[in-house]
Amino acid sequence: MSYTQALLKTAAVLATAGALPLFAVAAQPVHTQGPIPIQHLCGGVGEGSRQQLLAQAPNFNLGFWMVKGPRGAYLADVPVTIKKGNQIVAQFTAEGPLCYLKVPAGTYTIEGRHDGQTRTIKVRTGSKAYYLRW
């Protein structure tokens, strides 16, 4: 058995035992934009991605989910606009159903567009339990 084969076999055994992930989940980038410094991080498609995103929650002061229907099917690739008053402070396409924001304290309007329909919610910093629902 070659050194490479032995190394792969050891990694597979450790991964099976839960001691070492065989394939690491790539870190999701935090994006910063707008006239008011806004950081956002969206994702959560797949269990590994969702767990990684949830681990980042303490770094943010606002969060929301994007879901469809009575059972709350997760949505991705949703264009989102964040406003403070009448001023647009951020626009992005959410890569997954869960988005976290780090924004100055206050009240914001979050607008999302899916299947030709726009949904809007008023949110306040300090909560990560808001929903845009179609």
Bridge partner list, 83: 88, 109
Task: Report the helix count and the strand count for the chain, using DSSP H and E.
Answer: 2, 10
Question: What single-letter amino acid sits at 93?
Answer: T
Query: What is the average pLDDT across 120-133?
Result: 97
Bridge partner list, 117: 114
Going by C-alpha positions, the residue among 133, 134, 131 that lies closest to residue 62 is: 131
C-alpha to C-alpha distance for 75 and 45, rounded to whole angstroms = 9
At residue 45, the pLDDT reads 87
On the question of pLDDT at 27 being above 90, the answer is no
Q: For 30-62, what is each residue's pLDDT tens digit?
A: 667 666 788 999 999 888 888 999 999 999 999
Structure letter (DSSP) for residue 58: G
Q: Where are the domains of the chain?
A: 23-133
pTM: 0.75
Check if CATH label 2.120.10.30 holds for domain 23-133: no
